[in-house]
């Protein structure tokens, strides 16, 4: 009976195992797809977010005639895969690979909010663009859909939540009755419109270059206002009020204050210019189409705020002139520029609040209230420079010790100081002024000998004072986190003497509160002073602040684009001199990453010496690596153009590596590090191009176009290079289109040029990005909409590649490696406040290392997280910061957790495994994940929590390098839990699970019992083997014989009982073995079933 039960259980377990394995095999077989030879479909390019008018490029091939379909589907709470866009094409040619361009046109229900003009909207959770192929079969009547397609592909697009979508632009306002009904039901109405426009509310630093603020005006939505505006085109009544602060009169002859450029790139009404004599020229276009102008002889004063008010009334222009014909004025035609533009340089100074009255105004309300501190600081700088010039001349002319040191009268000094002040002020020198500038005075006194010998001049004083201040800024003050009055005074003096780094550093101190109370007004003043100097870092700093709206700067992308455009133009010039020692390509070395620090080398390190050893013996790869390290100054190695050129030559002359042949050829043609040799360079380029070098094709184009002026051959090579993906080739073709030098196409084609610039900008080309950004920021090209945000992102990306910024980052890194952490911190902070994400992460790391306030770390991690493409480590830090705050405070804890989840989602989308792991932890704690997670991890609306966690963990495991990681362990736990849940849902499998649990207990009990029996048997055997000692009487007579009969009978009975016990134990051993075997089979069946559910 027992054996039958055992055998039956084994058979049942085997049946369950076979059934599970067969089911798993059949499932895997059903999920595997069949290969279709000769058929292919894929996206060459596709948008990543929902934008109306975006393009999709589908590459496909069919083995026989087929139909291509492209669809856009959305999913809502009520419906899944609702088709909102569909296009189909039939192709009869077989085995020919084609690329089809599809213009996506999205319905208003997906693009806009719900309002009066857009009543039906879709609250979409995710949007998918999909393409699929169907063979054309005549014998089938089945509908050709995505689900029964031959081949298919899809991509998920990001879409703005319903609350963040824009409002659909109405063609007109609704009628009064319709508006009333809508307000009663929805409380929606047309946006408020006004004829008064604040063109500028915050001061703008104008450097005298061609980069002003672009403003565009659109027609009114309100019918009455638009009718009035159109009537005023030929009978205008407008008023313009602008504050300016001139540092110099126009050094170009004519400089732009405000000018209007129409769609034909011609000056329209109004054009206001400054001359080199301080006069103002007003130009306007009359109704006959001619331009008329007049000159107002006013000699505008310097170093003073001036408000210019210009009134236009029909044919009158008050500043003051009357034209014969009425003035034509259409402010929606083209764009306005405050300051310099593409065709006109700007003033050198500052612009203040600028108001524009589109319908005119007799009363102008345009105060200069936010400008007082800037005026005061600039005048103090003039006083300081005048006094310093007088002091330096006195010390230089005198061979005696300083009178000030002796406490003697300083009449002669005061007279010289008054002489240098000129017209700035007639105020005599007072001891109050000496007290105000005492730090500068004491420093000049301490350097009197160097001044007398000429070692220190006015030109060098700004740099010397800055170095002196940086050397003490965080030495004595680290413990107290306070910046001394002396340090601030030295930086202010350095700023006045023209050191823009001092201006930016002062702005940082006043903004961040590092060692000084926060004072945003003073921070704005020094930020503007730095930007007016046309310095790269100061321009990038101002552009970044306006782009993000930080530290009291109004968020104004037009102003941000103005600053970035200036720096972008400088970056174009800098890129042609990248070989100079004061420029380095920025290297992404994070101080918190030990692997990055370990990758750095020096000329004296063993690996560099070994590289030189191999290069000397002709190793081509070593020569290439060494030449690149010395040319670019990579991985801690200093630049050496001569040595780099020699290694390039030795590698190129082997005629094996086309990239090195190209590098050396361009050095020969440009005469960099070697004598110029066009002939040898040309032959090397030809051979490199024949070996497949794309850069060599572009180099040949440059040689024919720039050196030989053979534009036909130049364009031929540029086209070949561009077709193979060369960004330089695309950019050069764009220049040919723009200048009208394209062979057989003599006219300028800005549209074709823009397309080439846009393609090259996607590869990070500096010049192409700057050119394309100008068209995007102005919207002046037909068919190209104004997109200032995109222009700012492009320009910021280019500016972060600037070689001078890379040089500052290198100096900061070297100071850190040498132990000068204070100096490294200053340099990293200057770059961080300019928007460089790498510097922001490193500055936050040094805030922690230097034991600065916690706000310091939060500030720079937060800045890094605000960037367009932040580093995942900054996002993780900010997520941890919000999560910690949510656990430490009850107030707004849910919103803080939401912010933490947002940071983790962004980190996960950037490929961070830690971000994915943190999302899983928060989701497991019961926090809801946003909808964007579903599109990121290909989740559907019907996926439950376990599926969501599993897919996130699976992606995390795929991105991790380690075989065993936190994500893999958690994933195993989740799958085990899911498998157990599925097993317990089936009655038979639940019985098997309970049997397995019972079997585990049986095995444990039997093994324990067997161990005890074995120990007892061993004890009995020891007792049985002991020798028996004879019993003795008191007389020494043996009693064995007397007791033999009795003891013999006793031992005989005990022996019989022991034999019976041994037989029972053997039976128990056999039963135990059978039970263990049965339990093992049950456990094996349970394990197989569990493994099936896991797989």
List, as one string, the DSSP characters of 812-878: HHHHHHTT-HHHHHHHHHHHHTTT-HHHHHHHHHHHHHTT--HHHHHHHHHHHHHSSS--HHHHHHH
Q: How far apart are the first and last CA of the chain?
A: 38
Distance between CA 470 and CA 828 in Å, rounded?
A: 13
Question: 667: which 2 tokens?
Answer: 């050095």
Cα dist from 1054 to 583, 1048, 1049, 1060, whole Å: 103, 10, 9, 10
pLDDT at 579: 82
Number of neighbours of residue 861 by Cβ within 10 angstroms: 28
CA distance 501 to 498: 9
Stretch (H or E) spanning 574: helix 557-575
The token duo for 454 is 């000429």
Q: What is the per-residue pLDDT for 432?
A: 61
**Sign of the alpha-carbon dihedral angle for 1064, 1065, 1068, 1070:** negative
Contacts of 919 (CB under 8 A, 6+ apart): 901, 904, 905, 908, 929, 933, 952
Token code pair at residue 553: 């700067």
- DSSP 8-state secondary structure symbol assigned to residue 1027: P
- Concatenated DSSP letters of 326-395: PBP--TTSSEEEES-BTTB-B-EEEEEEEEEETT--SS-----GGGHHHHHHHHHHHHHHHHHHHHHHHH
C-alpha–C-alpha distance, residues 412 and 604, integer Å: 57
Distance CA 981, CA 1093 (A): 10
CA nearest 743: which of 701, 703, 683, 773?
A: 701
- Show the tokens assigned to 733: 């073709």
Give 205's strand partners: 350
Q: Distance (Å, rounded) from C-alpha 606 to C-alpha 615?
A: 14
Whole-angstrom distance, CA of residue 493 vs CA of residue 491: 5
Output the six-digit token pair for 1040.
């064995």
| CB-based contact 718:733 (threshold 8 Å) | yes
**Nearest-angstrom CA–CA distance, 126 and 938:** 10
Instruction: Identify the residue whose tokens are 């060098």.
Output: 460
Alpha-carbon distance of 358 to 615, in angstroms, equals: 71
Q: Are 570 and 788 in contact (CB under 8 A)?
A: no
Instruction: Return averaged pLDDT per consecutive 10 residues of the chain, 1095 residues in all.
Output: 43 47 38 53 84 86 88 74 85 82 86 74 79 77 73 82 75 66 56 83 92 90 84 86 91 89 87 90 86 85 89 73 69 90 91 90 77 85 84 72 44 48 41 68 80 77 85 53 72 90 91 84 93 92 93 93 93 87 86 82 66 78 82 78 85 86 90 88 91 91 91 91 90 92 85 90 91 91 85 92 89 88 88 90 88 82 86 87 74 71 87 87 81 75 74 83 77 74 66 68 71 63 49 45 52 55 62 69 68 62
Q: Residue 47 in 3-state DSSP?
A: coil
pLDDT for 893 equals 60
Q: What angle do CA 935, 941, 947 make, to 5 degrees?
A: 85
Rounded Cα distance, 392 and 398, in Å: 10
Find tokens 């085990």 and name the residue.
Answer: 976
CA distances from 767 to 278, 514, 535, 573, 759 (A): 35, 37, 19, 9, 12
For residue 705 the two structure tokens come to 């176009």
Give me the phi and psi of 265, to 5 degrees please: 65, 35
Q: Which residue has the tokens 């895969």?
A: 81
> Cα–Cα distance between 959 and 104 in angstroms, integer?
32
Instruction: Look up tokens 């879709």; give the residue.
Output: 122
Query: Looking at residue 246, what is its pLDDT?
Result: 92
Q: What local confidence, expressed as pLDDT, does residue 321 receive? A: 53
pLDDT value of position 1001:
76
- 3-state DSSP helix/strand/coil percent for the chain, to nearest 5? 55, 15, 35
**Tokens representing 175?**
């009628």
**Residues 931, 951: Cα–Cα separation, whole Å:** 15
């Amino acid at each position: 009976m027992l054996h039958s039960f055992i055998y039956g259980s084994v058979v049942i377990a085997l049946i369950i195992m076979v059934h599970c394995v067969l089911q798993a095999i059949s499932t895997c077989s059903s999920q595997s797809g069949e290969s279709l030879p000769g058929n292919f479909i894929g996206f060459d390019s596709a948008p990543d977010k929902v934008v109306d008018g975006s393009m999709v490029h589908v590459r496909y091939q069919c083995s026989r005639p087929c139909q291509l379909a492209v669809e856009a589907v959305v999913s809502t709470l009520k419906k899944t895969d609702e088709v909102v866009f569909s296009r189909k094409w039939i192709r009869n040619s077989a085995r020919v690979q084609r690329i089809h361009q599809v213009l996506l046109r999205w319905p208003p229900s997906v693009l806009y909010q719900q309002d009066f003009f857009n009543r039906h909207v879709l609250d979409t959770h995710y949007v998918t663009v999909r393409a699929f192929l169907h063979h054309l079969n005549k014998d089938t009547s089945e509908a050709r859909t995505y689900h029964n397609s031959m081949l298919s592909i899809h991509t998920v697009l990001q879409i703005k939540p319903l609350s963040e979508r824009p409002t659909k632009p109405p063609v007109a306002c609704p009628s009064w009755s319709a508006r009333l009904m809508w307000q009663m039901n929805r409380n929606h109405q047309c946006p408020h419109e006004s004829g008064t426009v604040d063109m500028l509310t915050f001061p703008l630093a104008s450097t005298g270059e061609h980069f002003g603020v672009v403003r565009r005006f659109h027609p009114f939505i309100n019918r009455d206002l638009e009718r009035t505006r159109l009537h005023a085109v030929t009978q205008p009544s407008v008023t313009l009020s602008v504050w300016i602060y001139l540092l110099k009169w126009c050094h170009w002859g004519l400089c732009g204050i405000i000018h209007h450029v129409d769609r034909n790139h011609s000056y329209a009404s109004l054009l206001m210019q400054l001359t080199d004599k301080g006069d103002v020229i007003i130009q306007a276009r009359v109704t006959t189409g001619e331009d008329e102008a007049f000159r107002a002889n006013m000699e505008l004063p310097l170093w003073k705020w001036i408000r210019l008010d210009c009134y236009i009334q029909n044919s009158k222009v008050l500043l003051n002139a009357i034209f014969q014909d009425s003035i034509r004025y259409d402010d929606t035609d083209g764009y306005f520029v405050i300051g310099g533009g593409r065709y006109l340089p700007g003033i050198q100074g500052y612009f203040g609040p600028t108001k524009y009255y589109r319908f005119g105004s007799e009363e102008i309300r345009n105060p200069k209230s936010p400008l007082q501190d800037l005026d005061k600081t600039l005048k103090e700088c003039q006083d300081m420079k005048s006094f310093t010039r007088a002091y330096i001349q006195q010390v230089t002319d005198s061979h005696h010790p300083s009178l000030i040191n002796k406490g003697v009268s300083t009449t002669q000094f005061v007279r010289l100081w008054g002489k240098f002040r000129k017209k700035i002020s007639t105020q005599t020198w007072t001891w109050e002024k000496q007290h105000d500038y005492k730090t500068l005075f004491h420093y000049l006194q301490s350097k009197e000998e160097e001044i007398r010998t000429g070692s220190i001049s006015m030109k060098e004083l700004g740099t010397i004072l800055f170095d002196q201040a940086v050397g003490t800024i965080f030495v004595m003050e680290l413990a107290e986190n306070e910046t001394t009055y002396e340090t601030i005074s030295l930086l202010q003096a350095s700023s006045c003497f023209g050191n823009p780094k001092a201006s930016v550093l002062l702005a940082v101190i006043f903004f961040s509160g590092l060692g000084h109370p926060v004072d945003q007004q003073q921070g704005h003043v020094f930020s503007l002073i730095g930007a007016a100097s046309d310095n790269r870092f100061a321009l990038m700093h101002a552009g970044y602040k306006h782009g993000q709206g930080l530290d009291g700067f109004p968020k104004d992308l037009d102003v941000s684009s103005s600053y970035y455009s200036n720096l972008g133009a400088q970056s174009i010039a800098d890129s042609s001199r990248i070989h100079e020692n004061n420029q380095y390509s920025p290297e992404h070395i994070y101080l918190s990453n030990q692997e990055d620090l370990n990758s750095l080398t020096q000329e004296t390190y063993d690996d560099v010496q070994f590289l030189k050893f191999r290069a000397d013996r002709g190793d081509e790869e070593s020569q290439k690596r060494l030449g690149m390290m010395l040319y670019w100054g990579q991985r801690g190695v200093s630049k050496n153009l001569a040595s780099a050129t020699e290694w390039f030559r030795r590698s190129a002359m082997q005629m094996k590596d086309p990239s090195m042949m190209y590098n050396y050829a361009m050095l020969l043609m440009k005469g960099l590090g070697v004598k110029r040799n066009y002939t040898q360079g040309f032959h090397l380029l030809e051979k490199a191009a024949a070996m497949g070098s794309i850069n060599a094709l572009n180099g040949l184009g440059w040689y024919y176009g720039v050196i030989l002026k053979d534009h036909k051959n130049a364009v031929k090579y540029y086209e070949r290079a561009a077709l193979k993906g060369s960004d330089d080739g695309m950019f050069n073709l764009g220049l040919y289109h723009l200048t009208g030098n394209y062979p057989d196409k003599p006219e300028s084609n800005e549209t074709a040029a823009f397309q080439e610039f846009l393609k090259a900008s996607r590869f990070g080309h500096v010049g192409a990005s700057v050119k394309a950004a100008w068209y995007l920021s102005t919207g002046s090209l037909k068919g190209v909409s104004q997109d200032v945000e995109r222009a700012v992102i492009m320009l910021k990306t280019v500016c972060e590649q600037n070689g001078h910024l890379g040089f500052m980052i290198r100096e900061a890194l070297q100071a850190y490696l040498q132990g000068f952490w204070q100096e490294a911190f200053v340099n990293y902070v200057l770059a961080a406040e300019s928007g460089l994400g790498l510097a922001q992460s490193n500055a936050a790391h040094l805030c922690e290392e230097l034991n600065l306030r916690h706000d310091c770390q939060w500030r720079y991690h937060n800045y890094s997280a605000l960037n367009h493409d932040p580093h995942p480590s900054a996002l993780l830090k900010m997520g941890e910061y919000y999560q910690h705050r949510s656990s430490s405070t009850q107030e707004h804890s849910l919103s803080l957790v939401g912010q933490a989840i947002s940071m983790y989602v962004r980190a996960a989308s950037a490929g961070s495994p830690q971000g994915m792991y943190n999302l899983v932890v928060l989701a497991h704690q019961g926090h809801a994940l946003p909808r964007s997670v579903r599109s990121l991890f290909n989740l559907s609306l019907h996926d439950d929590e376990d599926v969501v966690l599993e897919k996130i963990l699976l992606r995390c495991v795929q991105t991790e390098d380690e075989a065993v990681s936190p994500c893999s362990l958690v994933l195993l736990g989740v799958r085990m839990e899911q498998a157990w849940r599925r097993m317990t849902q089936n009655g038979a499998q639940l019985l098997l699970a309970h049997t397995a649990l019972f079997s585990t207990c049986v095995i444990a009990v039997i093994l324990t019992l067997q161990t005890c029996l074995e120990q007892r048997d061993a004890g009995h055997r020891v007792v049985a083997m002991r020798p028996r000692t004879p019993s003795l009487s008191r007389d020494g007579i043996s009693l064995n014989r007397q007791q033999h009969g009795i003891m013999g009978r006793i031992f005989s009975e005990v022996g019989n009982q022991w034999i019976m016990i041994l037989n029972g134990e053997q039976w128990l051993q056999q039963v135990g073995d059978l039970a263990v075997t049965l339990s093992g089979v049950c456990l094996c069946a349970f394990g197989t079933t569990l493994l099936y559910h896991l797989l």
